[in-house]
Structure 1
């Protein structure tokens, strides 16, 4: 009896905590697309887990509850893919339509449930539908893993505004895989293992998050040590030379860690060098370098269209190009080019 109570407590508490966590992710600020996808992913896992708990302890529960749980289970894989894609594309260059596709899949799932409800078609839901959901979930897991590997290899696994690092994303993928494996092997173990796996993964994630937060409060190795003036001058000269000779600013995926590796110094050291000794953060510095390169192209005869100039110096969009140029020069690229051409004609 006590054993059953413990199973119910931990499995049910995991589902409840998942619901609370999903609401927190939706209401915390700032709410980014990656956070929204993660919130929906946790919500679907919670619904699936809650369904497992109810069915395990109350086998005669309404089939509609089982239908809701299986519908949520169908959405776990697509939500995982949406989360990884949103994390890998913080500027939403290729993922703007992902929420629409997700809502479309939800509509199809709900429509199927209305046309063939579980109470009237138990064999359909308990057989082909359940198998389809299992293998679709597995396929989405593999696809999400592939997207994650490709993103990390392309050096987009920096720390964006949503604060999600590659380790966080990897933990989410591994956690979802653990829950899938638990349900897939339920015939060899027990049906409640899936619900317990979700609880364990959730609790471990919270523990790791708290541990990382404590670790993040510790001072960085270079926080209390200033860079000497001569050392900073040499490092800045190497940085400017590297940018000028190898045109690293053209890389649209250039990040602070990637640039630090090219310079042979820790990322924290490069950040300190730019902020303390160059009075500029990494992103404004990179934008400044790109604007200077754009000015050289704009002043050259036949410099090309604005879109070509922006792409040639590493800007991913025209809006970013124009806003960065205005911040640095106080005018638009077109106005600057016109003024440069007039000055050149007057000088000749």
Structure 2
């Protein structure tokens, strides 16, 4: 939506005679920025997937934009769009921005200063929220900042893009090293190593460490990092994340069975996940169900056992 807003400004700047409809498109995009930002934060926290009611934050504003755009087109109601509609758009944008900060706050306050680099996505989400708030301020105080509003929006979009690429490149560098074919572990030796690895993971419960990385696990085992990487990739045919997440999900399933009242955020943290969205994705990958559906299914089975 911010990109559409920038495109509108560019088109209008180079062709002032362009139809008024393009101005309506720009304001309509601004109206949707807030709701989309809020739903983006909900998705990051893993909440958007748990209830279809959250989709109303997208459906209702979209319907309003279409209906109002048809009933009150910009070229016939210029003063209305430049007056009350403009104020309403800014109010909705601000409300949703504040709501986004509110729902992110528990996650932000739980992250220690030295743990921030472990959650690249949180960096990106927080930057988007702060950047959106700054862009809102620039447009809201347009009488004083009109000369920087467009530049600020464009710079923000470019900055987010560059930062996202940079952080993910850094993340890729820290991932499992590529396997070397000429160092493949023989099958006769691999089974003993696999047994040792699985026994160590189960007894030490290292998978509960949200910051666990392949080099750290290799060091705990007294192995080299390439050796552990080879064993996982060539012999178990699994990535490091898949291997560890399997144990985390099994632990989460046990927790759900023993304490059905546990909140999803607590369940994710207790199972070694530092992101609720990562937990939801991993849980569904291994069980084909969301945690909520799995919890409900377990409760139904328990009820059938008690009341056959």
TM-score (norm 1): 0.55
From 264, 277, 286, give the equivalent of 2:248. 286
State how far apart, in whole Å, the 1-side matches of 2:291 and 2:252 are: 11
CA displacement, residues 282-309 of structure 1 (integer Å, 9 cap, x when unaligned): 33213333555678x6xxxxxxxxxxx6
Q: Does 1:67 align with 2:21?
A: no
Counterparts of 1:312 and 1:47, CA distance in 2 = 42
Instruction: Give a deviation string over 1:146-189, Cα, whole Å, max 9, x none.
Output: 1121344467x999xxx971111112112222322232233223
8 Å Cα contact 1:310-1:316 kept in structure 2: no
Task: Decide whether the 8 Å contact of 1:50 with 1:195 is kept in 2.
Answer: no
Match of 1:165, SS? helix
Where structure 2 has 5 or more consecutive residues not aligned to the other structure, the ranges are 180-192, 237-241, 268-289
1:129 to 85, 93, 96: 85
Runs of at least 5 residues in structure 1 that lack an aligned partner in the other structure: 1-43, 241-255, 298-308, 324-331, 339-348
Can you list the C-alpha shifts for 1:26-85, whole angstroms capped at 9, x where unaligned? Answer: xxxxxxxxxxxxxxxxxx112211222233344443222211211111111111001111
Secondary structure of 1:62's match? coil
1:45 aligns to 2:2 (yes or no): yes
Once residues 54 and 99 of structure 1 are traced to their aligned partners in structure 2, the CA distance between those partners, rounded to angstroms, is: 32
Paired with 1:82 and 1:312, the residues of 2 have a C-alpha distance of 24
Determine if contact 2:21/2:74 at 8 Å carries over to the other structure: yes
Contact residue 63 and residue 118 of structure 1 kept, 8 A: yes
CA 1:235–1:52 in 2, change beyond 3 Å: closer, same or farther?
same
Q: What corresponds to 2:171 in structure 1?
A: 216
User: Considering only CA atoms, is the larger Rg found in Structure 1 or Structure 2?
Assistant: 1
Aligned residue runs from structure 1 range 167-186, under 5 A:
167-186=123-142
Q: 1:312 to 1:72 in 2, by over 3 A?
A: closer
Runs of 4 or more consecutive aligned structure 1 residues displaced over 4 Å after TM superposition: 219-224, 229-238, 269-280, 290-295, 309-315, 320-323
Q: Is the CA contact 1:310–1:321 (under 8 Å) kept in the aligned structure 2?
A: no
Work out the CA distance in 2 between the residues paired with 1:119 and 1:333. 61
TM score, norm. by length of structure 2: 0.62
Query: Aligned equivalents of 2:255 and 2:101: distance in 1?
Result: 37
Structure whose residues are more often helix by fraction: 2
Cα RMSD (Å): 4.5
Label 1:235 to 1:50 Cα distance change in 2 as closer, same or farther (>3 A).
closer
Match runs of 1:25-174 below 5 Å: 44-89=1-46, 92-94=49-51, 96-153=52-109, 165-174=121-130
The match for 1:267 is 212
Match for residue 207 of structure 1 among 162, 167, 181: 162
Find out whether 1:196 has 2:151 as its counterpart.
yes
Q: Does the Cα contact within 8 Å between 1:141 and 1:173 map onto a contact in 2?
A: yes
Could you say if the C-alpha distance between residues 187 and 54 of structure 1 is closer, same or farther in structure 2, counting changes exceeding 3 Å? farther
Q: How many residues align?
A: 245
